[in-house]
């Protein structure tokens, strides 16, 4: 029996993009338990952690221990974010199934975020590609700030496409376009996705949206209408933005699954199971999380009649 390919592939990034910004330390056993719960739900891909400077992202300094502790579900790709060769070596040593290399379309943002020029980042990618493939790992390459940079503003579409082409030439197996600080709008998404799909097949292209200005799901639908099929999302909508205190984070996984379910788009993911895990997040991170469906319940959940109507005929 072969499982049908879902209409939309949702990839879970809460353990990495969600937890990286949390001020409260989430213990390694709790991280492992969260990832194991996500594995049990059956995600095709889970971004486990990142191998970056522990000084820059102290909340993920236990990346190697987390990789060592998780139970790997056959069929799930366990990914590690990496910015450079050193990160790649550590991720391969931790037996990551996939390296997710990140560089920002905006060089200003790349320098602010990674302390690297474009030339330096691309040179790292060139060094990483061979060892990754020799180790049997996949290599995904992300264009961060693809839909706008908080310092530079809008990024020219040809600049983003040029980076995608360079990534492919340097051996990337998959491409992610990331709206790092939630600046995308649906018109722009339609255009960039349509142009990128001329370079990258839909099963190799991931869209990564943040809900910073409430447009996460709007942009997912615009990308889907333009032909995209793979989307990153974070349970509970975890993952903030350093430039927008109080703003929401990534597109919320269970909100997206509820939307897909209401629209008849198969995701292969169990909404009740997701909500169960999501409801434990508040205890884990110590604050309310932005996801809505975990609070309101799926649209299909009906409520009992008010008492006075139950006996009045």
To a copy of itself, the closest distance from the beta carbon of 4 in angstroms equals 20
- In DSSP terms, 107 is beta-bridged to none
Q: Please say which residue, 1 or 309, places its beta carbon nearer to a copy of itself.
A: 309
To a copy of itself, the closest distance from the beta carbon of 67 in angstroms equals 31
Maximal CA-CA distance, the chain: 75
> Is the torsion defined by CA of 294, 299, 301, 302 positive or negative?
positive
- In DSSP terms, 63 is beta-bridged to none
To a copy of itself, the closest distance from the beta carbon of 233 in angstroms equals 12
| Burial call 165-192: b when 16+ CB within 10 Å, e when fewer | ebbbebebbbbbbbbbbbbbebebbbeb
- In DSSP terms, 178 is beta-bridged to 208
* Sequence-ordered strand ranges (E) for 135-285: 138-144, 174-179, 205-209, 230-233
Q: Please say which residue, 119 or 302, places its beta carbon nearer to a copy of itself.
A: 302
Q: Write out the two tokens for 172.
A: 């990337």
To a copy of itself, the closest distance from the beta carbon of 111 in angstroms equals 6
Please say whether the beta carbons of 8 and 232 come within 8 A. no
Q: Please say which residue, 165 or 191, places its beta carbon nearer to a copy of itself.
A: 191
Q: Please say which residue, 1 or 302, places its beta carbon nearer to a copy of itself.
A: 302
User: What phi and psi, each to the nearest 5 degrees, are found at residue 206?
Assistant: -110, 140
Annotated active-site positions, please?
A: 241
Angle at 3 between CA 301 and CA 300, to 5 degrees: 5
Taking residue 197's Cβ as centre, other Cβ atoms within 10 Å add up to 17
d(CA 287, CA 129): 39
d(CA 151, CA 149): 5
Q: Please say which residue, 31 or 109, places its beta carbon nearer to a copy of itself.
A: 109
Q: Which residue is associated with the tokens 């264009």?
A: 143
Q: Using CB under 8 A as the criterion, which residues of the chain lie in contact with a copy of itself when the complex forms?
A: 108, 111-112, 148, 150-153, 182-183, 185-188, 211-215, 217-218, 221, 241, 243-248, 252, 255, 258-259, 262-264, 288, 291-293, 295-300, 302-306, 309
To a copy of itself, the closest distance from the beta carbon of 309 in angstroms equals 6
To a copy of itself, the closest distance from the beta carbon of 212 in angstroms equals 5
Q: Please say which residue, 182 or 268, places its beta carbon nearer to a copy of itself.
A: 182
Would you list the DSSP string of 125-144? HHHHHHHHHHTT-EEEEEEE
């Amino acid at each position: 029996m072969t499982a049908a390919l879902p209409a939309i592939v949702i990839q879970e990034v809460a353990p990495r993009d969600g937890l990286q910004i949390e001020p409260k330390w989430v213990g390694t056993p709790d991280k492992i338990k969260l990832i194991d719960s996500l594995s049990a739900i059956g995600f095709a891909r889970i971004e486990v952690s990142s191998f970056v400077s522990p000084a820059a992202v102290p909340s993920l300094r236990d990346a190697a221990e987390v990789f060592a502790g998780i139970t790997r579900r056959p069929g799930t790709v366990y990914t590690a974010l990496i910015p450079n060769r050193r990160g790649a070596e550590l991720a391969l040593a931790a037996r990551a199934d996939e390296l997710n290399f990140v560089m920002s379309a905006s060089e200003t943002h790349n320098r602010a975020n990674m302390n690297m020029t474009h030339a330096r980042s691309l040179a790292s990618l060139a060094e990483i590609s061979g060892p990754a493939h020799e180790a049997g790992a996949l290599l995904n390459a992300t264009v961060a700030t693809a839909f706008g940079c908080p310092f530079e503003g809008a990024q020219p579409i040809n600049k983003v496409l040029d980076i995608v082409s360079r990534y492919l030439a340097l051996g990337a197996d998959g491409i992610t376009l990331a709206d790092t600080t939630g600046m995308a709008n649906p018109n722009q998404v339609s255009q960039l996705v349509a142009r990128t799909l001329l370079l990258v097949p839909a099963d190799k292209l991931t869209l990564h949206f943040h809900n910073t200005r409430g447009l996460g799901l709007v942009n997912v639908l615009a990308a889907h209408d333009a032909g995209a099929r793979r989307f990153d999302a974070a349970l509970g909508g975890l993952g903030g933005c350093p430039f927008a205190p109080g703003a929401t984070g990534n597109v919320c996984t269970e909100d997206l699954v509820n939307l897909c379910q209401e629209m008849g788009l198969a995701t292969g993911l169990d909404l009740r199971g997701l909500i169960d895990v999501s409801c434990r997040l508040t205890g884990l991170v110590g604050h309310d999380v932005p996801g809505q469906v975990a609070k309101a319940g799926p649209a299909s959940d009906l409520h009992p009649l008010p008492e006075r109507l139950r006996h009045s005929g």
